[in-house]
Amino acid sequence: MTAAAPSSLGPKPTDDARRADIARVRRKATGLLLFAAVVFVVARWFEHRWPWLGYVRATAEASLVGGLADWFAVTALFRQPLGLPIPHTAIVKRQKDRIARVLGTFVQNHFLTRDVISERLRTLGIAERIGRWLSDPANSRRVAGQLTEGVAATVDTLPAQGGWQSGLVDQGVKLVARAVTSSDEAIASTLREQIKAGMPRWMPGMVHEAVHKRVMAGLDRFVHELVDNPEHPARARLEASLRDALQRFRESAGAGVPGAETMDETSSAIARVLESVGTHLVNDAAARHDLEQRITETAADLVEEHGAEVAALIEHTVAGWDPDLAADRIELAVGRDLQYIRLNGTLVGGLAGLAIYWVSRFF
């Protein structure tokens, strides 16, 4: 971390322009300070001859004090003024580690919070953006192609044998069984309607119900046998189909031709699904709302769980910076505004001095 930090703080293309801009404003601030000093000396010298110069002298004197104070404050942030070992100067260099801790804590407490992340994500319209992007056929085809090539490359690294296919089939069978069990009522209702539609109208309702019960019982028995019997013939057929499909993927990947027939068919099917999903998101407000809720909750959970890690990363990164280089980078970032503070301090100080001197003339 420490070794990589200096390179991340290295020279940037805009550095020369920034330095020139800071130097220009610094010359203005210093020039105004010197002008105030000259005016103060001249006004003080001739004040006894022309008393009205007291207003000029007071203004220049306060400008000089304000400008010097702000020069000291601005300089003390990054270095020791005039090279003198004055306490509480060169603050950025000496307090870099403390600044790192404060910065990490600040980001965690004010940016990496559930409320901040959730509010920001809600305003982005992520679901609609995803929908519009996927509904473009060019985008859906590109994503489908990348997915297919990635799967093919992964499959190409898998061993042709080894028994892992049966484990995959076993998990798939259990997943299907859970889906069937949880959707039992929906399946029964759909099956009842299909049986009624497929039989003659004159067939008694009791026949429909008897056929329905028998089919449901057979389906239930088949699912349980498929789960409980590792030697079930259907499992063997599923494993054979899986091996065949994976082999076609492996051959396509091994050929190194993304446009192979298997790849084309798979990519086209995936692209159609992705495009359909995108169109559905664009047209269905409820689907967009549901997706955005899921994205927001997931992101908020991640931030809540890992916010401290991000804060620690910021702290360790800043703490690993070279002190002189860190001070230089920060000065480049805010130095122009700090020099304007010097300018403003000189002008505001002068106005304050003039006001104080004018009021003092009445007492």
Number of Cβ within a 10 Å radius of residue 61: 21
Residue-level length of the chain: 363
Distances (CA, A) of 291 to 112, 124, 135, 299: 22, 13, 16, 12
Where in the chain does DSSP place strands (E)? none
Domain chopping of the chain, boundaries: 15-94+322-360, 135-283
Q: What is the 3-state secondary structure (H, E, C) of 65-129?
A: HHHHHHHHHHHHHHCCHHHCCCCCCCHHHHCHHHHHHHHHHHHHHHCCCHHHHHHHHHHHCHHHH
Q: What is the DSSP string of 245-256?
A: HHHHHHHHHHHT
Amino acid of residue 73: A
> Max Cα separation, the chain?
128
Give pLDDT tens digits for 186-243: 666 776 677 667 766 666 677 667 776 777 777 777 777 777 777 777 777 777 776 6
Mean pLDDT of 43-69: 90
Rounded to two decimals, the pTM is 0.49
Q: Name the residue type at position 104.
A: G
260-316 residue pLDDT tens: 555 567 778 888 888 888 888 888 888 888 888 888 888 888 888 888 888 888 878
- Alpha carbons 168 and 13: distance in angstroms, whole number: 53
